[in-house]
Structure 1
């Protein structure tokens, strides 16, 4: 539509320049806000975590299976599964997100349920609770090589007779 037939005065070069300048200013501001939201706004509102993985060794050999748990004071624990080569990767809130930085007590449970009355322990029972394991680690930065060393201290895997209940009420 021609501006000659409009009730509004024709735009001057300066008016057009101001309009473009305002548009570019608004676009720049919107991009800056979007970038700021992307960098800062990605927080999930949960405590900071760092990726942690490594290997569990028992008497310098990989522990072939089990579960590992890192328990910090006053914060959410992180857990992982120990594979056939002793490797683990910790999860706190989401798969593989690691552990909250700080001091952690560690527990490792490695056993096989053979029947309703028999369990074979693949690591000493003392490691099955962070209260008795004696294992502590400090997490301060991401790592993919945190080794946890266990020992039988002269012992060996053993079978324990247990009563897991008959399932009857």
Structure 2
């Protein structure tokens, strides 16, 4: 009986030491902090816009606005936020050029350019948009972007 107990205890200790339980790739990730915000165009909420934060290290966080223009950013896991530091921000909204709800049953949609942005193009490239945000540990990290101009 003592020998069996010794073998069992040795196996338990041996197996528990084989793995720390943390994926090494996850352990390498930089910390992220929750980020939320609102996107408006001329004071009106923008629905279904993609918000992109790009940190100085190149790590990207993304989110999509809801009907009230609110977004929550994701970097690695759903709604986890963005890395700390100065972020360059891009915002774009693809526009199909037609309302799919207005098509008749079986009617094919019109041919559309895939690069049509429903927001002013100047905001689509994070490096050239002029939009920035600084994400910090222990801060609220809520950023509102009130865009102006017309779609291109």
Alignment of 1:83-98 (within 5 A): 83-98=66-81
Q: Is contact 2:133-2:143 (8 Å) kept?
A: no
Bigger Cα Rg: 1
Q: Is contact 2:89-2:126 (8 Å) kept?
A: yes
Query: What is the aligned partner in structure 2 of residue 25 from structure 1?
Result: none
Normalised to the residue count of structure 2, the TM-score between the two structures is: 0.66
Distance (Å, rounded) in 2 between the aligned partners of 1:101 and 1:131: 18
What's the offset of the Cα at 1:149? Answer: 2.0
Query: What is the aligned partner in structure 1 of residue 112 from structure 2?
Result: 117
Q: Which runs of 4+ in 1 moved over 6 A?
A: none
| Greater relative contact order structure (CA < 8 Å, 6+ sep) | 2
What's the offset of the Cα at 1:145? Answer: 3.2
CA RMSD of aligned residues (A): 2.2
What's the offset of the Cα at 1:52? Answer: 0.5
Distance (Å, rounded) in 2 between the aligned partners of 1:86 and 1:111: 15
Query: What is the aligned partner in structure 1 of residue 147 from structure 2?
Result: 150
What runs of 5+ residues in structure 2 fail to find an aligned partner? 1-19, 21-25, 98-109
Distance (Å, rounded) in 1 between the aligned partners of 2:94 and 2:58: 27
Distance (Å, rounded) in 1 between the aligned partners of 2:56 and 2:142: 23
Deviations 1:52-98 (A, max 9, x none): 01111112221122101000111411001111211100000000110
Query: What is the aligned partner in structure 2 of residue 138 from structure 1?
Result: 134
What runs of 5+ residues in structure 1 fail to find an aligned partner? 1-36, 38-42, 159-169
